[in-house]
Amino acid sequence: MRGFLSVKLILDSCAFIDIAINAPTLTRNAISAFQDMNNELFLSVASVWELGLKRSLGKLDFDMAGAIDLLSQNGINILDITLPVTLLVNELPYHHKDPFDRIIIATAKINDMGVMTSDTIFETYGLEIINSRAR
């Protein structure tokens, strides 16, 4: 991952949280990909939505304002949910049932991106994966 080539990566919600809190479970590959200035990192607005929902339901104690600061400080770009993404979500096989993850999968496919995730189901969609957590 390090070096001359630029890689476009979208982080799933869990990978984003792990990076935000510098989780000890982060893999070396995930840390390297995050720190490599040649890489372009993205977060779907769907992840912001998902984290906000979980926080409002009391399922997640996470500083959203701090997370948004982390985004801007580290050049992580927010991607909107576009019409082509929503159309592809409807065409994807139902290996994954989580609607937020399906949006991330479709976004990665439409934008030719890899995905940083610990969710092994993402691999069934033929995406390049950087595992974010040691198993």
CATH number of 106's domain: 3.40.50.1010
Q: Does residue 3 lie within any of the structural domains? A: no
Hey, which residues does 130 pair with through a beta bridge?
116
Domain assignment of residue 101, yes or no? yes
Per-residue pLDDT reduced to its tens digit, 52-74 = 999 999 999 988 888 878 878 88
pLDDT of residue 4: 54
What would the pLDDT profile of 22-53 be if each residue is shown by its tens digit? 899 999 999 999 999 999 999 999 999 999 99
3 has pLDDT over 70: no
Q: What angle do CA 90, 79, 77 make, to 5 degrees?
A: 155
Write phi, then psi, for 71 (nearest 5 degrees): -55, -55
> 100-126 in b/e burial notation, b at 16+ Cβ within 10 A?
bbbbbbbbbbeeebbbbbbbeebeebe
The reply to whether 58 falls in a domain is yes
Domain assignment present for 1:
no
Does some domain include residue 69?
yes
Number of separate domains in the chain: 1
Residue 96 in any domain: the answer is yes
Domain that holds residue 39: 8-131
| Cβ neighbourhood burial of 35 (10 Å; 0-12, 13-18, 19+) | exposed
Is 2 domain-assigned?
no
Asked if the structure places residue 47 within a domain, the reply is yes
How much is the average pLDDT of 110-124?
Answer: 97
* pLDDT computed for residue 64 by the predictor: 80
